[in-house]
Each structure stands twice: as structure tokens, then as C-alpha cells.
Amino acid sequence: VMPPAEMVTPTQNIVEVALADPDNFSTLVTALTSADLVTTLSNEEATFTVFAPTNAAFDAVDPDVLAALLADVDMLSSVLLGHVVSGASLSALDAYAANGKMLTMASNKMIEVTIDTDSGALVIGGAKVVTSNIYTTNGVIHVIDTVILD
């Protein structure tokens, strides 16, 4: 029996992790900057679970919708906060345990957690988690394949 792998102590906050991966998160970083949420998600005094859409997820959004979002800071902020659970660092295991339940997001929207019956993938508000449990100094990131707009 192998001993469990040691948890690597994270050294970067949520924003620093996103900045370090421009191939996946440059659009998210641009959106967070536009919505003035960089300071919030860099806060080491708080914990967050972020469901982070990839650049490909943003590319899949209708260009007119994306342009409208980027032009409206309040709407953009609300959409981005709809990807964040504030005050909690939910591992994928915690999220799987929430199957069929609703999560209260930082935008005060309720988002349903389900498990895709075909792939077993975790689904948050219709977005599939493609990479889970990227631990940061102030929470955890789960990478999703779709921007949650509802």
C-alpha cells in the first residue's frame, strides 16, 4: 500500500495561479481586471472556491454577448462572481457530495451541482469541471469548460 501523496503547500493565490497560466486563463484575468475583482480574489484573509472558465470557454461565448459583458462592469462582475463560492474552499470531493444541491455563489445566484451520468464529471451550472483541485493560498480552483451566464 502506497502512503498518500503529501499535499503540496500552495504558494500562490487564486489570481497569481491564473496569471501564471495565460494559455488557459488570460481572458479570465482580463475580465477580473475589468470587473475590479483582482484585489478581492487576491485577498489572503478570505477563502474562495472558483469555477474558472478557460480561454476556450470564453471563446465559445457569442462575441456580441462577450463585448456587452466587458463593456458593463456591474454585469461582468455579477457573471464572474457567479463562478465563485465565497468563504469556502470546496474540494472536488465536497462538490461531488453536493450532487443535486444548490450552491450559493458570491453573486447570490444559486447554481446547481450535478454529476454527468455518462462521464462522471462534476457539472456546475451546466459547466463541466475539466480540472479539479488546484489549491491556492486562499482557496481552490476548478477549471470549467463553459462560462456560466445564467
d(C-alpha 134, C-alpha 30), whole Å? 20
Burial class (CB in 10 A: 0-12, 13-18, 19+), 115: middle
Instruction: Provide the pLDDT for residue 94.
Output: 86
Instruction: Provide the pLDDT for residue 97.
Output: 84
Place of cell 474552499: 89
- Tens of pLDDT, residue by residue over 75-124, are 999 999 999 999 888 888 888 888 899 999 999 999 999 999 899 899 99
- Tens of pLDDT, residue by residue over 27-86, are 999 999 999 999 999 999 999 999 999 999 999 999 999 999 989 999 999 999 999 999
Instruction: Provide the pLDDT for residue 33.
Output: 96
Cell of 109: 445566484
Place of cell 495565460: 22
Q: Is the pLDDT of residue 150 over 80?
A: no
Instruction: Provide the pLDDT for residue 6.
Output: 55
pTM for this one? Answer: 0.91
Q: Quote the DSSP letter at residue 9.
A: P
- Tens of pLDDT, residue by residue over 1-13, are 544 555 568 999 9
Question: To 10 degrees, what angle do helices 22-34 and 73-81 make?
Answer: 130
Instruction: Provide the pLDDT for residue 2.
Output: 47
**In terms of DSSP bridges, do strands 139-144 and 122-124 run parallel, antiparallel, or are they unpaired?**
unpaired
For the residues 140-146, what does the mean pLDDT come to? 96
Residue type, 47: T
Q: Is the pLDDT of residue 15 over 80?
A: yes
